[in-house]
Structure 1
């Protein structure tokens, strides 16, 4: 039986406390300045050279700085992960997937897949990440690519009664078994109730390959990762895009 996934009281408390910390100590302008000073605009060296992103590179201070000096949560938004790269490449190569559709990029990180959806003609794009710093970074990345219409949301949407989206994108979200199980249940419900199409980008991580959801996916595309991306991701050579079909369980 499908069940709603809702974050535990303690995990939600930590999320809310972190948001309060951000709002109390950093204005939007201060966050933008911090991101500008500690990232580099990168174009190329990925599967989507036409998309510009502010990322952390070896020339940035915190690449080698002591981790405890970083004032925020881990900067997952400062890395262009291989699952997101494959997903973004697929959308740019197949614009009909997004054209005229309402799209949700869940766990959006740097916002690359949301940007790819916007560039591919989506009528409405929402980038969702529970890290408020990621939301600011995504807004900045959208501006770099000439997009002003992407909406950034920091609420935890997993488990919610989500309506109004034709397409849901998940890049590199299956890195943890318990999260993968929660997503499996919730995504199945979204498809059953609202006929939402779900696309997943993943480079073949063990937690993804071994999970039950893997048997309910259809391969849409596979991409060879550029040399620099392979080196940054422990030798992963490719990344794939899958569509989710829970009806295959029957």
Structure 2
């Protein structure tokens, strides 16, 4: 198991997560190449930005059914729950990420639902990071939008973001671990799907 400790999130100190140490990277510690890297042990800029956006404007999530895709640590899910969402589901292709999001939710006194079939709000942070993942994520988010959900994306300029489909609603300078991002902060936009 990757070593973590409970600590406040830099951009949303009102939320604490079980995170890797400040000098650990994705491939530090007990990492084995036959396992996915522990993306869930870090709080990525997109998730932090979404969490800050929701906490600053709780009406975005209050009373809504929320789905966070590619949840990682679950920071945006936790923020949505703290804003009074009627239910929040955190999903990820890595079952360890979903387990981490649940553990982090419990540490913050909130509960995550098992499933959310008809969300009112879909959250996605840092999901446009590769040319193979971006089209799949775009299709999923467009289907959610077509079904009536509001779609919010936190993107720090990873390179494959389909900007023509979105309008920027906020922007944050997000503190990030230098061991992970090779910088100490990233500018991250919050984007609403048109």
- Tell me if both proteins adopt one fold, taking TM over 0.5 as the criterion: yes
How much has 1:233 moved relative to structure 2? 1.7
Partner of 2:109: 146
Partner of 1:185: 139
Q: Is the 8 A contact 2:61 2:84 kept in 1?
A: yes
Q: Is the 8 A contact 1:199 1:241 kept in 2?
A: yes
Return closer, same or farther for 1:181/1:146 CA change in 2, 3 Å cut-off: same
TM-align CA RMSD:
2.4
Partner of 1:3: none
Matched, 1:48 2:6: no
How much has 1:117 moved relative to structure 2? 0.3
How much has 1:136 moved relative to structure 2? 1.6
Partner of 2:193: 244
Determine the C-alpha separation between the residues in 2 that align with 1:179 and 1:131.
14
Number of aligned positions between the proteins: 192
How much has 1:121 moved relative to structure 2? 0.6
CA offset digits 1:129-155 (Å, max 9, x no partner): 12121122111101110112x1256xx
Partner of 2:43: 80
Structure 1 or 2: larger helix share? 1
How much has 1:190 moved relative to structure 2? 2.4
Structure 1 or 2: larger strand share? 2
Structure 2 unmatched ranges of 5 or more: none
How much has 1:219 moved relative to structure 2? 0.5
Partner of 2:148: 195
CA offset digits 1:18-52 (Å, max 9, x no partner): xxxxxxxxxxxxxxxx46xx2111114x1111100
Determine the C-alpha separation between the residues in 2 that align with 1:63 and 1:73.
10
How much has 1:163 moved relative to structure 2? 4.3
> Helix, strand or coil for the counterpart of 1:185?
helix
TM-score (norm 2): 0.89
CA offset digits 1:184-239 (Å, max 9, x no partner): 223222222x211100001111222xxxx21121101001123xx16342235311
TM-score (norm 1): 0.70
Determine the C-alpha separation between the residues in 2 that align with 1:77 and 1:89.
18
Q: Is the 8 A contact 2:63 2:86 kept in 1?
A: yes
Matched, 1:130 2:93: yes
Return closer, same or farther for 1:67/1:221 CA change in 2, 3 Å cut-off: same
Structure 1 unmatched ranges of 5 or more: 1-33, 154-161, 246-250
CA offset digits 1:60-83 (Å, max 9, x no partner): 7x9743633x88421000010001
Matched, 1:107 2:70: yes
